Structure 1
Amino acid sequence: MHRDEPVEYEPVSVKAVLAEMKDTAELLIDLSFSAVLHGSPDLAAEVLTLESRMDVLQLQARMSVMMAARSPEDVEDLAPVLGVVGAAEKISDAAGDIAKVVLEEVGLPDAMRAALPEAVETLVRVPVTDDSSYVSQTLGGINMETETGVRVIAVRREQATGKARWITNPDRDTALGAGDTLILRGFEEGLREVYEVASGDPYESPDSPGAADAALERAVDSIVLMKNMSELAVDLAYGAVLFDSRGVAEEVAELEAEVDALKSRFEAWTLQAAARVDDPVSLRGLVHLASATEVISDAALEISEGVLRGLKAHPVVAEAVEESDEVIVRTVVTDGSALAGTTLGDQEVKTATGMRVIAVRRGDPAGRADGDETATAADESETENGEWEVSPGADTRLRPGDVLIAKGTRAGAERLTAMAGSPEEFEVD
């Protein structure tokens, strides 16, 4: 949307708008960093298109919330909803700033592209040509994710009016058409196959940059870690709202503080690198990335602020999180399940289920699902009840009573809960 394009009130579902805002914000984070990784003006342009869509969504959401407030009690209940709306808009603006590093050629060292493949899954933009075998087929019929490991995370479709429509939650019934632009996520081998079938052109991998100055590498590593922490903070923030969990919200606050500390270290490494590189101006893009990434972590804290202040999350926010593209699920590891006594890597949880475990809360080995209310102080000291392990790795060992918070598809959530042997009450929906 152009800033001067009018947006009039129309009756829309607050839940639907919030769900689309969440999906769009998360897609924007992925797209913007992928634009930097590939040095891709096309991906960066898609970010700005989505950012314009977010402008419309946040105005619609604010107007709908205002219409719903009829008393002081309504105002108190709906205030956290406006906080979530504002936070999603900040994420959108930050992603736009990241994209402009590419579009405006602000300057970015090659070392940034060397580091990002470890920080993000590869995203690729590909048009569907008229003669592609994908035309008129559904994603379920293509069976793309199973056959290639590549997932279509968004579709941009041109309409007769000349305006594009984004499908941010394509499912197995979504049919592809000529002229569609697909946003793909996956590994290079699978992306190569899908890209060629969709476009008829060969997929070109990004060049591998050479070695960089040690201080510059440390500065880049700091940004990569900031990006990972900020993205995790956003995921956990929505989880805190969904499950009304103060413990998860406190982890978001810890991550936000760590991102602030990392930014200070980044500034020190960047100043050292500036004295050693041939063109210090080429480091401007790093400064822009660090600032935008910090904004994302601040926005995550805003999402969870209501929980931290003891305000009950409005049901519409939790319902919107449930209905968004990627669901967040809480499941409990039960005694005798496939996950009990083993590690995430041993069970290849991400590969087997498609779910990314973003946090593990240590529970009661006896099998209590929620250590907060049932465990005594002595229990917590002995068994680490209630402690969180954020962003667990392949070597994280699980035990009965552990609570997992994971993110992924609905089908993946079902597979994960089956592996955990968890009762249905712990699923999102």
Structure 2
Amino acid sequence: MDVGDVEYEPVSVKAVLAEMKDTAELMIDMSFSAVLLGSREVAEEVLELEERMDVLQMRARMSLMMAARSPEDAEALAPVLGVVGATEKISDATGDVAKVVIEEIGLPDALRTALPEAIETVARATVAEDSPVAGRTLRDLNLETETGVRVIAIRRGGDWLLNPDRDDYIHAGDVLLLRGTEGNVAPVYADVTGSEYVAPEPVEAGIEDLDRAVDSIVLMKNMSELSVDLAYGSVLYGSEGLAEEVAELEAEVDALQSRFEAWVLRAASRVDDPVSLRGLMHIAEATEVISDAALEIAEGVLRGMGTHPVVAEAVFESDEVVVRLDVVPDSGLAGTTLGERMVRTETGMRVIAVRHTDADGDDWEISPGPETLLQPGDVLIAKGTRAGAERLSALTGDDSLDVD
């Protein structure tokens, strides 16, 4: 649908904002996975979602304009417009990442070697006619529990189903977006498509400055994605603490981008084809935009303006929630690792960051792994379903969670 075809129609701003949030987060996953896989197909799916986001933001803006009937209304709705605009920026930035693949702008092979350690793979899989998953519900398949792989979206014809429910059926011809570790995705992909999953080939380490640049962009990606999650969390809970973390992460991403640019320029003279670095520069710029947009989402909370109820409700009613939980002494997680306690398997929640607290102060560990050791007083930032959040709350011993 062309943006010019959009006409005003009464819609729930809350519902549109919830869909915008879910779509933006899906696009972040998909765009970086397109780079990792060198997949034009996944990149094209990102651009289709970007068009959908253009329509959603236009509808949200029109509804908000109709709702503002006085200066007081305009003042109250200004932060909502800010969230709409910031979410659109995230969409545009992920579209720019996808275009690096589609337009073959150029990327060093080292980036595809580093990214698998930074993100879970998102694979695009078309359900074959004779696939064992066809005609079954996600509840029947129980994929996430059995395999650790989650179906994050289904495209059926031109319609998208974001974060499908356990009672949703999978049909032959559906396009599934699967998220999980590369080792777990491969057998699920084979069952769905009847074809072998082909992972990108690893690349030997090369020029030191380029390797540093790649490491920086991976860290920028992780920090920006965490910023988006924390920003929506700050809006949901009206938490100045989470909003301040977003501001700190945004400043760190800015500093990383400066170092990244210096390392790329140093490496350019020693790369056989300096043009291959253009894509890296595009991705860094887009990642920094995502970080800035996250700060815009949290700005109303930072400025003491609070959260407009429609935004908080939209974030609450979106398909995934972000929770902040403390590890309580003598709880199930104190003194153990995420892997030993099988947090992902037992709760279905993804721990996206851990803030370790000790005598030396606070230290963020972004994208923690199974080996991450948790101590009393550590803070977990996790993402998943409300039911999963309740299970994780029980493990941490933190009973302050309210997701009802």
> Given the two structures, how large is their TM-score scaled by the length of structure 1?
0.88
Structural mapping, 1:167-186, within 5 Å: 167-186=161-180
Find the counterpart in structure 2 of residue 245 from structure 1.
239
Q: 5+ unaligned residues in a row in structure 2: which ranges?
A: none
Aligned to 2:254, the other structure's residue is in SS state: helix
Equivalent position amino acid for 2:375 in 1: L
2:376 is the alignment partner of 1:399:
yes
Matched residue, 1:374 = none
Q: 1:147 to 1:27 in 2, by over 3 A?
A: same
> Any idea what the Cα deviations from partners look like across 1:279-316, whole Å, max 9, x if unmatched?
11111111101111110000000000001110010111
Q: How does 1:188-267 map to 2 (within 5 A)?
A: 188-267=182-261
| Structure 2 residue aligned with 1:2 | 2
Aligned match of 1:68: 67
Report the CA distance between 1:87 and its aligned residue: 0.7
The 1:175/1:275 distance shift into structure 2, 3 A limit, reads: same
Q: Hey, what does 1:92 align to over in structure 2?
A: 91
1:189 positional shift: 3.2
1:336 Cα deviation after fit: 3.9
Aligned to 1:288: 282
Q: 1:362 to 1:135 in 2, by over 3 A?
A: closer
Report the Cα offset of residue 325 of structure 1: 1.9
Task: Report if aligned partners of 2:334, 2:396 keep a CA contact under 8 Å in 1.
Answer: yes
Residue 154 of structure 2 aligns to a residue whose secondary structure is: strand
The alignment-based identity, stated in percent, is 67
Counterpart mapping for 1:262-411 below 5 A: 262-344=256-338, 346-358=340-352, 389=364, 391=366, 393=368, 394-399=371-376, 404-411=380-387
Shift of 1:427: 2.6
Alpha-carbon distance between aligned partners in 2 of 1:202 and 1:406, rounded to the nearest angstrom: 32
Q: 2:387 corresponds to which letter in structure 1? A: A
Q: Distance in 2 between matches of 1:18 and 1:115?
A: 33
Amino acid at match of 1:122: T
Partner of 1:376: none
Give the conservation status (yes or no) of the 8 Å contact 2:145–2:345: no
Q: Structure 1 residues 288-297 or 133-142, which shifts more? A: 133-142
Q: Is contact 2:390–2:401 with CA below 8 Å preserved after alignment?
A: no
How high is the TM-score relative to the length of structure 2?
A: 0.93
User: What corresponds to 1:138 in structure 2?
Assistant: 137
Q: What's 1:370 paired with?
A: none
What CA deviation, in whole Å up to 9, does each residue of 1:384-424 have, x standing for no partner?
7xx67463845453326x6543211233212101212343x
Q: Kindly indicate whether residue 106 of structure 2 is the aligned counterpart of residue 107 of structure 1.
A: yes
- The alpha carbon displacement at 1:245 in A equals 1.1
Contact in 1 for aligned 2:127/2:193 (Cα 8 Å): yes
With over 3 angstroms needed to count, the CA separation of the structure-2 counterparts of 1:390 and 1:197, relative to structure 1, is closer
**Aligned equivalents of 2:317, 2:342: Cα separation in 1:** 27
Matched residues in 2 for 1:341 and 1:302: separation?
37
Which deviates more, 190-199 or 47-56? 190-199
| 1:182–1:270 Cα change, 3 Å | same
In structure 2, C-alpha distance between the alignment counterparts of 1:273 and 1:415, rounded to whole Å: 47
The amino acid across from 2:2 in the alignment is H
State the superposition RMSD in angstroms.
2.2
Q: What are the residue-to-residue correspondences of 1:22-171 with 2, within 5 Å?
A: 22-158=21-157, 164-171=158-165
Deviations 1:322-351 (A, max 9, x none): 121221124444454313454545534334
The residue matched to 2:131 in structure 1 has which SS?
A: coil
Measure, in 2, the Cα distance between the counterparts of 1:345 and 1:22: 29
1:414 pairs with 2:390: yes
**How far apart are residue 69 of structure 1 and its match?**
1.7
Which amino acid in the other structure matches residue 214 of structure 1?
E
Question: How far has the Cα of 1:218 moved from its partner?
Answer: 0.8
**1:15 alignment partner AA:** K
CA gap of 1:104–1:154, structure 2 versus 1, over 3 A, is same
Consecutive unaligned residues of structure 1, counting only runs of 5 or more, are 159-163, 364-380
Give the distance between the partners of 1:294 and 1:202, measured in 2 at CA: 35
| CA shift in 2, pair 1:296/1:13, >3 Å | same
Letter in 2 for 1:211: A
Structure 1 stretch displaced more, 238-247 or 129-138: 129-138
Q: 1:236 to 1:103 in 2, by over 3 A?
A: same
Larger Rg: 1
